[in-house]
Amino acid sequence: MSRPRPALQRVAHHATPPTPHTTRSARTRTIAALAALSALVIMSVTMAISTPAQAAAPVRIMPLGDSITGGPGCWRAVLWDRLQRNGFSDVDFVGTQAGGGCNLASWDGDNEGHGGYRATGIADQNQLPGWLAATHPDVVLMHLGTNDIWSNTPTATILAAYGTLVDQMRASNPDTKILVAQIIPMTPSGCSWCPSGVTALNSAIPGWAASRTTARSPITVVDQYTGFDTSVDTSDGVHPDDSGFQKMSDRWYPALIPLLGGSTPGDTTPPTTPTGFTATVDCSLRVTLRWTASTDNAAVTGYDVFRSANGAAFISIGTATATSFSDTLSGMYQYQVRARDAAGNTSGFTAPVSVVPPPCPPQDTQPPTTPGTPTASATTATSATLAWTASTDNVRVTGYDVYRAPGSGGSFALVGTSPTSSFTDSGLSAATTYRYQVRARDAAGNASTFSAAATVQTAGGTAGCSATLTLQTGWGGGYVMQPNTVTNTGAAAISGWTVTFTLPAGHTVTGSWNATVTVSGQTVTARGIAGQNATLGAGAGTTWGFQASRPGGDTTVPSTVSCTSP
């Protein structure tokens, strides 16, 4: 930074007037000095304007742990993919280890996952400072302790090692944000003490974190334990399989997002994995994928379809709102599908399905007849069931393509296929006009002409909301409840919401955020903030939080809550 120039000083006039020669000479020197100063000022301003602002560096995130993180640690790939899909692209996973081998073609695999390492070993051998010096993380995602438990290390010793690692992180970067996992369960053969050891460690982590967190370098506890089933979500009782990696990513994501400038997602429950996944190929090499719909606590909004060509990594090739998808075979292909919801939660992948060309009879070039005009029945605010007169064919009709267009003038697009002459379209908007037309296909891939278009009007939506309270952390004299969620359960937008609950006797609200909170006796009323989160679209959600004090020894927290909307 340049030093400031001294202020210009006013020169005192002599009592005796200068001679005319002296006056002209002084005036000349003054004008020259002012011209030089003006040019310097203009040059400085021009340089300041023309110098581009330096772009902000990406947030550096270090996944830190053992083989659950490092080899292959595919929860990192799933988390990276979700961050990119939801607009958090300015991140950089860092670590001295490279990762790969997961079912995504392009992701940042850098990490600090070391197979077989213990938290106590990393701390005792002073290994972390070198890793930090090489990578300079802003955020650390730490899942450590599995190998310590396996070695029957006491909880207090593991927490002491955690403390050493946190001190080393802060010595490297005083502003490090630390996410510490309550580790996933483990049931390896021959380790009878492992399940209880994990439970003891996880029970102690919140209190340890509360004692070590600071405003500048907060520690957030991430529950990776609850809902994780070693019989389903691991390959050997310890190491996650695809469903386990998905669950780990789903727990890291909402805790990480606030550190990247986003809002904690109101809905963090992923859809179930699609079932009944099949692939068929006709003689035109048209691949048709079908599966049974996933379920979700809110609503499934679509499906991501991935393909592996000739043994390469799986890559995304499209999305579907219905439970089917079409592709053209051109090589040795495998497919996988996963479900998505409105909050960006994704299910686990289906098991891969391989496809090969079928044995085909002599070519059939005759298309089916045109199907009848669709008619709608059982129309709701979000779905419509269509039926039409079936087509005929010289060999056999194998299915129908259903196309939908918005309003009265939008373009038609494929929304699904059906093996019969009926189809249910879901995920529609309330009180909205759609147009539908269908065409038939046969086994040779011949397609009929399109049917006449039918117009469908969905029903109007009704307002409503639901709310939950979530305990983040508690201590002897108080607790923090967040993220508390509010979800629009109706099919139309709401312009406000009101959450009401009762505090236990002796409890007092000491602060709140993301809501306007009032208290009358022990009744607490929280309302959405206009211009911030009061208005919620259909199926949308928001979060808020509060802190409360309570008598020493009292561990109760409020749980029953109601929600109303205009």
Q: What residue spans define the domains of the chain?
A: 59-260, 275-355, 375-457, 465-564
Q: How far apart are CA 515 and CA 517, in angstroms?
A: 6
Give the Cα separation of 110 and 98 in Å (integer). Answer: 5
| CB contact burial 155-194 (16+ within 10 A = b; e otherwise) | beebbebbebbbebbbebbeebbbbbbbbbbbbbeebeeb
* Rounded-to-integer distance, Cα 92 and Cα 248, Å: 19
For residue 48, give every residue at least 6 positions away whose Cβ sits within 8 Å of its Cβ, in sequence order, or none: none
**pTM of the entire predicted model:** 0.50
β-partners of residue 525 are 500, 518
Cα distances (Å, whole numbers) of residue 33 to 6, 8, 12, 19, 40: 15, 12, 18, 21, 11
Q: In this predicted model, what pLDDT tens digit does every residue of 505-522 receive, in sequence order? A: 999 999 999 999 999 999
pLDDT at 51 over 60: no
Residue 1 has which token pair?
């930074």
Class in CATH terms, 375-457: mainly beta
When mean pLDDT is compared across 41-50, 212-221, 256-265, 528-537, the lowest value belongs to: 41-50
- pLDDT tens across 387-403, in order? 999 999 999 999 999 99
Q: Which of 203-217, 264-278, 402-416 has the highest mean predicted lDDT (pLDDT)?
A: 203-217
pLDDT greater than 50 at residue 422: yes
CATH superfamily of 275-355: Immunoglobulins (2.60.40.10)
Q: Does domain 465-564 have CATH number 2.40.128.20?
A: no
Task: Show the beta-strand stretches assigned E in 153-217.
Answer: 177-182
32: left (phi over 0), alpha (psi -120 to 50) or beta: alpha
Q: What is the tens place of the pLDDT at every residue in 431-467?
A: 788 999 999 999 888 999 999 999 887 876 566 788 9
**What pLDDT sits at residue 26?**
40
Q: What is the DSSP letter of 127?
A: -
Rounded Cα distance, 377 and 359, in Å? 39
- pLDDT digits 0-9 by tens, 55-69: 578 999 999 999 999
Check if 375-457 and 465-564 are the same fold.
Answer: yes
How far apart CA 391 and CA 367 sit, in angstroms, is 10
Q: How far apart are CA 218 and CA 473, in angstroms?
A: 13
- 59-260: CATH architecture: 3-Layer(aba) Sandwich (3.40)
Give the pLDDT confidence score for residue 86 in this predicted structure.
86
